Amino acid sequence: MKHDTGAGTAEDDLREDARERLAGLRLPRFTKIRLPELCERVGEARGRETRLVPMELPDQVTGMWLSTTANVDYIAFEKRAAPDYQAAIVRHELGHAICEHQAGPVIDLTAIKTLWPSLSPSMVQGVLGRDHSDSPAEWQAEYLGTVLASRTRWTADLTRRMSGDQEILDLAARLSALFAPRS
């Protein structure tokens, strides 16, 4: 039994913030919803559309959340991963979106404009800048992803069903170009 000393820990604060954000999604208590419906609810709560993008990612990346200026959030996930792992990736990235985590810049704006002139510099910084260590944001996203696992169920054929969406395929190709080796 944990004794309350009157002072909460940073972990307790993160957990409480995550619970409050989760309550805003109005998920059913005793019925699991499908992951696409969860994306819709996250999008409604954020006032943005949320789209899933299955794609081949480099080994060190399993998923990413892209928040665009076009009022759309993209959750990219590794399409070669096992379905259960895909679900965990998506829920973790949704955790970042729900908490509106910000990434720190790892590349300056001039370099971004030179390397990727057609992409939003803040979006590129957001994707490349997130600290994937044991940071509070990563811990909170993982916590939310775990809680969401108990409230959602994965649609195993999601990747196959999405593979015919030309807009998603085009986006996946553009994102994949970011990770292609440069000669």
What span, in angstroms and rounded, lies between the C-alpha atoms of 42 and 88?
Answer: 16
- Residue 98: its pLDDT value, please? 93
- Residue 105: its pLDDT value, please? 44
Q: Is pLDDT above 70 for 75?
A: yes
Nearest to 136 by CA among 23, 21, 12, 20: 12
Q: Give residues with Cβ within 8 angstroms of 162, minimum separation 6.
A: 52, 53, 54, 168
pLDDT in tens, 11-65: 888 889 888 988 888 888 778 888 888 999 999 999 999 989 888 887 778 888 8
pLDDT in tens, 111-146: 555 655 666 666 655 555 454 567 888 888 999 998
- Residue 90: its pLDDT value, please? 92
- Residue 89: its pLDDT value, please? 92
Q: Is pLDDT above 60 for 2?
A: no
Q: How far is CA 66 from CA 9, 97, 143, in A?
A: 30, 9, 20
Share of the chain above pLDDT 70, in %: 64
The reported pTM is 0.71
Mean pLDDT of the chain: 76
Contact assessment for residue 141 and residue 92, using Cβ atoms and an 8 Å cutoff: yes
Q: Is pLDDT above 90 for 66?
A: no
pLDDT in tens, 84-95: 888 899 999 999
Residue indicated by tokens 């996930």: 77
Q: How far is CA 140 from CA 10, 82, 143, 173, in A?
A: 11, 23, 5, 30
- Burial code (b: 16+ CB inside 10 Å, e: under 16) for 148-182 equals bbebbebbeebbeebeeeeebeebbeebeeeeeee
Q: Could you tell me the sign of the dihedral formed by the alpha carbons of 175, 178, 179, 183, in that order?
A: positive
DSSP 77: E
